[in-house]
Amino acid sequence: MNRFWQGALALIASAALAGTAPAQEIKISHQFKANTDGRDKAVRVFVAEVNKKDPGLKFRIYPGSSLNIKPVAQLDAMQAGTLEMAVYPMSYAVGKIPEMSIVIMPGTISNLDFALKLKDTPFYTKLQQVAEKNGIHIVTWWWTPGGFASKNQAIGGPDTVKGEKMRAADPTFESMLKAAGASVINIPSTEIYPSLQSGVLTSTLTSAETFVSMRIYEQTKFATVGGDYTLWWLLQPLVMSKAAWDKLTPAQKKIFEEAAAKSNTYFAGLQREAVHKMEEAYKKAGAQVRALTKPEFDAWITLAKKTAWPEYEAKSADAKELLHLITSVK
């Protein structure tokens, strides 16, 4: 056989092999800073773990909204099947999936260990069902603790937010703040810094990670974070389009789940450090830093149970069940 035919046959064989095992490219979008924010770092851990077992799955990460999809709109893109994956703060979904307010509901998460434990409960199963019913699949279980920061005054109990122009990231959480006398503005975390800078906001609630990676300490002088009583928790997982998830083989789904478990452990470690890094960043900036006291925390929870909880339960039967399930976990 001459070299021409040898080469032709090699090309045919290569094309046939490619046809039976095409390389898949999965786009991952998020709004956070590359190689700085823990959410971006954890994405890279997840991808590395998947590729150890399936190098044929190709990922392309688009940090800092570089795919030109706005943070909230990533959900629309995943539901439409034009985006495969995103790191998605689940409170951003409440406009289309009201039940997702449960993942930021004040008074339901006591600490990070409790949040991680929820992964093996009926609450998780129900939350995943609600997500899949709405075209997305929750891949990782990344929970972020947060806190308050203000330009004007130290934030403690409900009586200290009267007159504040505040961001909290969720309508039911905001109903509690309104009852305490704050005015609220619902914006993604990428808009917190300029909104504080311009005076549209005077204070905010967000994750410890975001306070540091987006340098919010430059625009606020008082921080309430750390200690034993954290009011603000949010699930910010790696989420996948249900259509893209369904295209994975059973073996690939297992690989994703194993990689997710590794990333969950890694991310939890980062969150334990994130609170300390936020405290240090604020102190270094010359700001005042304090934690919520138990009486202040209890006052917020009492208010939440009169405002945010019943408002959430009224949204749907699924919402009522999710609140019951999360508050039943011991």
Q: Is residue 274 in a domain? A: yes
Predicted pLDDT at 20: 38
* DSSP label of 291: -
Q: Is residue 304 in a domain? A: yes
Q: Is residue 4 in a domain? A: no
Query: Is the model's pLDDT at 247 over the cut of 70?
Result: yes
Percentage above 90 pLDDT, the chain? 90
β-bridge partners, 143: 235
Map tokens 């990782």 to a residue.
Answer: 140
Q: Is residue 9 in a domain? A: no
Q: Is residue 1 in a domain? A: no
Give the chain's domain count: 1
Q: Is residue 149 in a domain? A: yes
Query: Is the model's pLDDT at 19 over the cut of 90?
Result: no
Which structural domain range is residue 261 located in? 17-328
Ranges 16-25, 157-166, 232-241, 288-297: which has the least confidence: 16-25
Closest of 60, 131, 153 to residue 322, by C-alpha: 131
Q: Is residue 250 in a domain? A: yes
Predicted pLDDT at 23: 58
Give the Cα separation of 297 and 162 in Å (integer).
Answer: 16
Mean pLDDT to the nearest integer, 32-54: 96
Query: Is the model's pLDDT at 5 over the cut of 90?
Result: no
CATH no. for residue 58? Answer: 3.40.190.170
Ranges 2-11, 100-109, 282-291: which has the least confidence: 2-11
Ranges 2-11, 78-87, 129-138, 310-319: which has the least confidence: 2-11
Give the Cα separation of 87 and 70 in Å (integer).
Answer: 12
Query: Is the model's pLDDT at 18 over the cut of 80?
Result: no
Map tokens 């010359």 to a residue.
Answer: 286
Query: Is the model's pLDDT at 153 over the cut of 80?
Result: yes
21 within 8 A of 54, measured Cβ to Cβ: no
Q: Is residue 251 in a domain? A: yes
Distance of CA 207 to the CA centre of its chain: 9
238 within 8 A of 140, measured Cβ to Cβ: yes
Mean pLDDT to the nearest integer, 138-156: 97
